[in-house]
Chain A
Amino acid sequence: MSTKNTYTVSIYTENNVGLLNRISAIFQRRHMNIESINSSKSEIKNVSRITILVKITEDQMKKIIGQIEKQVEVIKAFYHSEEETIYQESCLFKLNSDLLIENDEIQMIINQSKSRVININKDFFVLEKSGSKEEVEELYQILKKHGIMQFVRSGRIAITKEEMKISKMLD
């Protein structure tokens, strides 16, 4: 019917055991895959913010927001398109320390990709990169040739351009 889009779902919740399970179950029940999920504290004390990335139709998205907001411990849920948010993903690469000495290219890659070395010892070093999913993916493809010992990527975190009046709701 309608086309699938990437949506960033931002959910303000009470910080309670089991709530993440309750929210992910809403997607699972509808046979929808969550692209990424992140839970952290928010700008409000004792209020968590869950950020979920999904690829679904807008109609599905609206219904899911209704189901999420229906949960007792959810304060408010929003969904936004790519254009409406400023978002980042973060990733870590574990690489062999020999590369730093033997391979000139590595230093150039680090500089060009605006990533940074956050840990280094004689066996390995850890490279951190934040950016869009595409930037992270690009760096991954470049480093793959040199051998990646470990790789991990965070879920998306996003800030909306629009104001969120959560504090008002809690008064």
Chain B
Amino acid sequence: METREKKSKKEEIKTNVTVSGAEAVVKCLLAEGVDILYGYPGGAIMPVYDELYKYKDKLNHVLTRHEQGATHSAQGYARATGKVGVAMATSGPGATNLITGIADAQIDSTPMVCITGQVASHLLGSDAFQETDIVGISTPVTKWNYQITKASEIPEIFAKAFYIARSGRPGPVLIDITKDAQFEQFEFSYEKCTSVRSYKAIPELNIEAVKEAANLINEAKKPFVIWGQGIVLGEAEEEFKEFIEKAGIPSASTLLGLSALPTKHPLHVGMVGMHGNYGPNKLTNECDVLIAVGMRFDDRVTGDLSRYAKQAKVVHFEIDPAEIDKNVKANVAVLGNAKETLKTILPFVKENMHKEWLQEFRDYDATEFDKVIKKDLYPTKEGLTMGEVIKEINKASQGDAIVVTDVGQHQMVACRYAEFNQTKSNITSGGLGTMGFALPAAIGAKMGAPEREVVAVIGDGGYQMTIQELGTILQTKAAVKIVVLNNEFLGMVRQWQQLFFDKRYASTEMTNPDFVAIAKGYHLKANRVTKREELENVVQEMMQSEEAYFLEVCVEKEDNVFPMIATGSSVSEVRLS
């Protein structure tokens, strides 16, 4: 497979042949090593689909059931593989339906190329059928976008698009192609893009900053590392592990950084943020040097900024210069790709251990276990908890599964309790908080990493936002395991209503359909668990299934997720109840 791909890639670059713009699009995708794309056809993109039909042996097009699903699948694929995800849609509504996924990819730095058809260039601006200004609409949520009106632009723009999407801080790129450009014939040749003169993918490494950072780290009595998705995107997992092990620094993850370091690593002290762990949140305000690696101090991480790590010197390892001093002022900024910067700092970092300091985290862990975790994972009350479902998934997967989550209570619970042995195993919508993300993202993840088990954990609310993607699973036989944690509420909003709006449950109660019947309607194996004693066996059965499996777990209706840092509170005010 690989050799065939390589051979065909060479051919694409060598041969100068006269082709249509539409065929050129497919040739460009092949030249970029794309083997799968997600999309939905329509009038303005039909010439490209006609070529996809001809090239179907080389390029697998997955028909999703909605264009939003196509973007989330492309995102899931990108997050599971590290490669660029590709989504395609027609003009007008097809294009606008991509926007949520594009915005999600932008805020979570996911490499993605979206291709949209556009009305013929002579019709631009005439309010033609299915015409929207998708370049205008997508501008604030793309890393780059471009409208192609001449076929001859296609190779250069596609090469540039893939380069921009995957390099530096990755992100989504949209290419809009007018229908006449798809029909136009031209002489095709392809050259990969390796630089854009106005764009610096990776800032220059400043060795003085590295040394300064090393000095601060070496002198610290209570150093604390918070890492983010930059480790995963930069494929710096090994360098990161070596760094924290040598310096002996307790390290916590952001939501998106999870799985970059195995959950059971002795220096892994949990997750920071609104529903993160007690210790890392509390001790953020007690460390003397805070080392942020590939993270951006999101407000869900920091809580009240004016009371965030004020006592600490801050070292910020970051690829995007615009993130430096954006939310938290850095005493030392080390710009660059995490893989490079961590490799460079390693020889300057002294071997160290911070046993007593690490013990402080463990002491907080014990408190959190008593007050929160015990109830979540080993409940004594009758109703099922979300936590015990995750615990059973851990048991069945041994921590080897990719866990894809949606947005809300189940997401926080899953990210708190899921065990990860390997990187690129946590796929969730972090920055944008897109309900409906998980089901299509899981499809993309499974196709990107077919050898791995992919479990989508979804709430009953978010599930119904993209439930139609069950049709994609039916058609492609993508063997994803779907777990819906059904509390018949929009749980996270309900939790806020309970805590901050005197239990006025405005529009958060859900009257739900028979989810099992719906899954069965799509010819999927499906099951429902309502009792604790059934849970373990059914989860085992699901995980052992060779094909897709839907599991609904009816959980306690009004459970809350703790710990919690209320909006406007400081990280040290993290509450346990």
Interface residues of A (CB under 8 A from B): 13-14, 17-18, 21-22, 25, 29, 62-63, 66-67, 69-70, 72-75, 170
Contact = CB atoms under 8 A, between A and B. Distances in A.
A72 B173 CA distance: 11
A62 B325 contact: yes
A18 B326 contact: no
A13 to B, nearest CB: 7
A72 B136 contact: no
Centre residue among A13, A21, A67 by max chain B CB count within 10 A: A21
A25 to B, nearest CB: 5
Contact of A29 (B135, B140, B143): B140
Contacts of A21: 136, 139
**Of B136, B199, B320, B323, which is in contact with the most chain A CB atoms at under 10 Å from its CB?**
B199
What 10 A-B pairs are tightest by C-beta distance, nearest first? A66-B322, A72-B144, A75-B198, A72-B199, A25-B140, A70-B322, A22-B139, A73-B198, A14-B198, A67-B322
Interface in B261-299: none
Nearest to A25: B140
B322 A13 contact: no
Contacts of A22: 139-140
B230 to A, nearest CB: 15
B147 interface: yes
Between B140, B322, B324, B326, the greatest number of chain A beta carbons within 10 A of the residue's beta carbon is seen for B322
A41 to B, nearest CB: 16
B7 interface: no
B321 A69 contact: yes
Interface in B342-379: none
A75 B200 CA distance: 9
Given A17-B147, A25-B139, A70 B198 contact: no
A72 B161 CA distance: 11
Nearest to B160: A72
A111 B557 CA distance: 82
A70 B320 contact: yes
B37 interface: no
B506 interface: no
Contacts of B320: 70
B326 A63 contact: yes
Contacts of B322: 63, 66-67, 69-70
A14 B197 CA distance: 9
B164 A66 contact: no
Contacts of B147: 17-18
B198 A18 contact: no
A63 to B, nearest CB: 6
Nearest to A74: B198
B244 to A, nearest CB: 28
A18 B197 contact: no
Given A22-B140, A63-B322, A63-B326, 12 more contacts: A18-B136, A18-B139, A18-B147, A21-B139, A22-B139, A66-B321, A69-B322, A72-B144, A72-B164, A72-B196, A73-B199, A75-B198
Contacts of B139: 18, 21-22, 25
B472 interface: no
Interface string B143-179: 1110100000000000000001000000000000000
A6 to B, nearest CB: 22
Nearest to A75: B198
Nearest to B169: A70
A18 B199 contact: no
Contacts of B323: 66
Nearest to B324: A66
A66 to B, nearest CB: 3
B489 to A, nearest CB: 33
Nearest to B149: A17
Contacts of B144: 72-73
Contacts of A62: 325
Contact of B197 (A25, A29, A70, A75): A75
Contacts of A67: 322
Contacts of B321: 66, 69-70
Nearest to A170: B197
Task: Give the residue among A13, A29, A69, A72 with the most B Cβ atoms within 10 A.
Answer: A72
A72 B326 contact: no
A63 B297 CA distance: 15
19 contacts: A17-B147, A18-B135, A18-B136, A18-B139, A18-B145, A18-B147, A21-B136, A25-B140, A62-B325, A63-B325, A63-B326, A66-B323, A66-B326, A67-B322, A72-B164, A72-B199, A73-B198, A73-B199, A170-B197
